[in-house]
Every structure is written in C-alpha cells, then in structure tokens.
Amino acid sequence: MIRILKGNMEKGKQLLPLIDQPQKTVAIHAILTKVFEQRNFDVSFKSIFKIGEKGDTLYNDITGNQFHLNKLTWNLKLSDPPKYSIDTTEIVKIRRYWSSKFHSN
C-alpha cells in the first residue's frame, strides 16, 4: 500500500472516504502520515488508571491507553475483550486535516 501511494497525491485522495469508517480511521491516517508526512510519524500513548473511591489515582490498576499520532487521538479500553474507540470529533478533525492537505497541493 505504501509503495503504491509514495508521492502520488491522487491515490492518497482515494483513501479519504475510508477515514469516516471508525474501524479504518487510524490505519488510513497512519498510512497517509507515513507516506506524505514521514516527519510526523510519531506514536505516543499514555496509560489511563482507575480512580479510587476517594478520587485518588490507583496506579496499579490500568484501565486503558490513549494513543496519539499526528494530531489524531484514539483509545483502547483494557477489558475482556479489549475495546478500541475513537471519538467522532477526532474523525472529523482528521478528515478535514487530510482534505486540506490534498486540496492545497
């Protein structure tokens, strides 16, 4: 996939409609970032901890992780089974981000 897109903005534009599908948003965003904005391909995450009855953070009880890649944020809840989620506002933000990148070139 990455070889096909390398430097080809028209092929990249064809992926834009897939960004609106929550199960594909992160993958499409990662591919587009890897191909067109390699310098921004930096994934980070923070752990989310359970909050105790007194409002204290229970550092020995991780409930999930929040990930970041090139302006996109998504979550993974550590349940059985683990549950991935992405907020609709994040999907809209990333669709606009890539639409403006492709239309400005």
**What per-residue confidence (pLDDT) applies to 102?**
85
Burial 27-36 (b: 16+ CB within 10 A, else e): ebbbbbbbbb
Which of the pair, 2 or 21, is modelled with greater confidence? 21
**Cβ atoms of residues 74 and 85 within 8 Å:** yes
**What per-residue confidence (pLDDT) applies to 77?**
94
Query: What digits encode the pLDDT tens for the residues 43-66?
Result: 999 999 999 999 999 999 999 999
User: What is the extent of the structural domain holding 47?
Assistant: 2-104
Instruction: Tell me how far apart the alpha carbons of residues 105 and 101 are, in angstroms, rounded to a whole number.
Output: 7
Query: What digits encode the pLDDT tens for the residues 3-18?
Result: 656 667 777 888 899 9
Average pLDDT of the segment spanning 26-52: 93
**Cβ atoms of residues 31 and 16 within 8 Å:** no
- The helix (run of H) or strand (run of E) holding residue 53 is none
Look at the pTM and tell me if it is higher than 0.75. Answer: yes
What single-letter amino acid sits at 33? T
Tokens of 91: 């999907």
Number of Cβ within a 10 Å radius of residue 87: 12
Give phi and psi for 23, each to the nearest 5: -75, -10
Q: How many domains does the chain have?
A: 1
**What per-residue confidence (pLDDT) applies to 9?**
77
